Structure 1
Amino acid sequence: MTSHQNTQTMKPATAAKKLGVYLEATPAEFQEGVVSRAELNALQTDPPEWLRELRRNGPHPRPVVAAKLGVSISGLARGGVTEPLTTEQIEALKAESPEWLQKERATQAEVRKEAVRIREKQKQEREKRAERETGGE
């Protein structure tokens, strides 16, 4: 029996998501083709100029915009940001610091703080459980 390995490919939208770029801003040949795992790895290790430029200046997809602003994707929507933004637009928003952005950043900080608290609590519970299991021998 012979085994042959199929080349794993993905749609351009999936590759763009993995690369952290806005698909519509990528070159036409990227948008129209399929991307193999090897091609994706090559793009990640040695990005061409168009990819470096997109990552540097945008337009950026919502997850990247949210991360750069320090808010959630839902927070962006609540703030009325539904389109991709360039790095320049993101910096302008940060400088302007509208009320919705301040509120969403505070909310995100609380979410992060709560996540840390929960992880700590779970860690302590695991340690107690492990102590009981090993202490009972």
Structure 2
Amino acid sequence: MTSQKSPQTMKPATAAKKLGVLLDLTPAEFQDGVISRDQLNALQADPPEWLRELRRTGPHPRPVVAAKLGVSISGLARAGVMDPLTTDEIEALKDEFPEWLRRERNTHAEVQREAAELKAEKAQRSQA
């Protein structure tokens, strides 16, 4: 006899992180319960207006800010950017292009390049 599996669920904070939004800006019904994997998939596949608006205008969590600026989360911290930023604030930073952003983009690109080289070397060694 097989038992019925219960659906995989997560806390609203985890779901918000996976959706790339700040939990405290989501609707109360999202914050008040648990989110099933199916619900999360549905939100990703066909986002409701509140989720589309949050993704479009923000404020965005630091991982999203870092990705939009092309830097690491550590780079944001080194620059003193600790708070969520709106899309307009991110675009203003891109337009202004301060020295810290230029430096952190270069650092981030170099780290990514080195990681790709190490991955390629590792793959090459495993084939040998």
What amino acid is aligned across from residue 27 of structure 1 in structure 2?
Answer: P
- CA drift of 1:2 comes to 4.1
1:20-55 deviations in Å (ceiling 9; x for gaps)? 111111112211221111111111111100001111
The normalised TM-score by structure 1 is: 0.88
1:33-78 deviations in Å (ceiling 9; x for gaps)? 2111111111111110000111111111111000000000010011
Give the Cα–Cα distance (whole angstroms) in 2 for the partners of residues 95 and 114 of structure 1: 28
In the other structure, the counterpart of 2:88 is: 88
- Deviates most, 116-125 or 98-107: 116-125
The normalised TM-score by structure 2 is: 0.94
What amino acid is aligned across from residue 16 of structure 1 in structure 2?
Answer: A
Give the Cα–Cα distance (whole angstroms) in 2 for the partners of residues 4 and 79 of structure 1: 51
In the other structure, the counterpart of 1:113 is: 113
In the other structure, the counterpart of 1:132 is: none
Aligned residues with identical type, % of pairs? 70
Give the Cα–Cα distance (whole angstroms) in 2 for the partners of residues 122 and 2 of structure 1: 43
In the other structure, the counterpart of 1:98 is: 98
Aligned residues: 128
Which is higher, the Rg of structure 1 or of structure 2? 1
- CA drift of 1:14 comes to 0.4
- Deviates most, 118-127 or 9-18: 118-127
In the other structure, the counterpart of 1:133 is: none
Give RMSD over aligned pairs: 1.2
- Deviates most, 2-11 or 12-21: 2-11
What amino acid is aligned across from residue 92 of structure 1 in structure 2?
Answer: A
- CA drift of 1:120 comes to 2.2
Kindly report structure 1 stretches of 4+ aligned residues shifted beyond 6 Å: none
Write the mapping of 1:1-137 to structure 2, written as runs, cut at 5 A.
1-127=1-127, 129=128
What SS class does the counterpart of residue 83 from structure 2 fall into? coil
Give the Cα–Cα distance (whole angstroms) in 1 for the partners of residues 121 and 42 of structure 2: 41
Extract unaligned runs of 5+ from structure 1.
130-137
